[in-house]
Amino acid sequence: MKKQSVRVLVVDDSALMRKLLPQIIESDGYIQVVGTAMDGEFALKKIEELRPDVITLDLEMPRMDGMETLRQITRRYKTPVIVVSAHTTDGAAATFRALNQGAFDFVAKPKDALSAHMDVITRDLITKIRAAAMSRLVPQREIKLNFDRVQKVSKVRPLARKIIALGISTGGPNSLQYVLSQLPADFPAAILVVQHMPEGFTELFARRLDECCAVDVKEAQTGDLLLAGRVLISPGNKHLKVRRMPQASVAILNDDVHVNGHRPSADVLFYSAAAEFGSDAIGVLMTGMGEDGAEGLGAMRRAGSLTIAQDEQSSVVFGMPRAAIERGYAMRVVSLDAMANTLQVNCASEKPRAATKV
């Protein structure tokens, strides 16, 4: 038998999932499932025995559950873990805790695992396994919160003259939280974010960010005003655009076709920002696999926007920033540690327009 390039261990308490996931994973001839485990205790023994390159991990298991298993893996091994998450509110909350604890990424289980809908995770799971096997093990940044600063109060936020359009994917939740938590409450620009994430997860993601950041963070809705110090996260399965109008600029969502295999797509947001805001926009492309956002960042540069890409050293996966840098579309290459300060410096001279109450 030909030796496979990527060795995977599947950990799940469901016998059905232990049968289906290997079938999905091995549909890519580049990947081999070397073993399965029904709970965390078995998983740790299998890791010692099999030394997999990547682990897929269910969080809801008997005896040693997924969260404790993840803690043990991150403490004892350097093996990237992809969480296979329940598509529920509780499942989403647990998934974000796992990402904070060092999980590489996640895929959402279909609501009906017995149906033909299992194929909806096939592409994502295979792509993320490949990316995990080639990824850099970037140290977790400690997020130090000033709770006096983060405390939310009713405030009047001015309309933003300048916007930041930001595209991010694998490694994004922790990286985005790190950057946004460093921005002050009176940050003078609006920030619009395309984070590749399934439908049903982005609302909770936005709420978690809002709890730990001085800026306001919410899941975007059509008609949301672009306000200074407001961050809008594109919902899963919706494209996000901006529209500049004389009285107030707003966010627009739509159900147009997938772009670069994604909805939302960073390219869609970037092209919109280039057309509507030009030199009054900043484009940022951060950690992620693939090339989504590269051509859109090029459009922003041609329109007079400042364009920024995250550097390789601090990116979990360097695919998206690399594509923009290699094509000459990134005017600056910035580390994760310097990203928040770079955004503040380049927005500092902005004078907001008339005040609007949130």
Q: Which residues are catalytic?
A: 169, 196, 292
Q: What is the residue type of 68?
A: E
Q: Are 126 and 28 in contact (CB under 8 A)?
A: yes
Summarize the chain as % helix, strand, coil (round to 5).
Answer: 35, 25, 40
Burial 174-211 (b: 16+ CB within 10 A, else e): bbbbbbbbbbebebbbbbbbbbbbbebbbbbbbebbbe
Whether residue 163 contacts residue 280, with contact meaning beta carbons closer than 8 Å, is answered with yes
**CA dihedral of 285, 290, 295, 296, whole degrees rounded to 10:** -50
Q: List phi, psi (to 5°) of 188.
A: -85, -5
* Longest CA span, the chain: 69
User: What is the rounded CA–CA span in Å between residue 354 and residue 358?
Assistant: 13
C-alpha 145/C-alpha 281 separation (Å) is 28
| Start-end of H helices in 224-287 | 266-277
- Whether the CB-CB separation of 209 and 231 falls below 8 Å is answered with yes
> C-alpha angle with apex 59: 57 to 62, nearest 5 degrees?
105
Q: How far apart are CA 117 and CA 123, in angstroms?
A: 12
Q: Phi, psi at residue 111, to the nearest 5°?
A: -65, -30
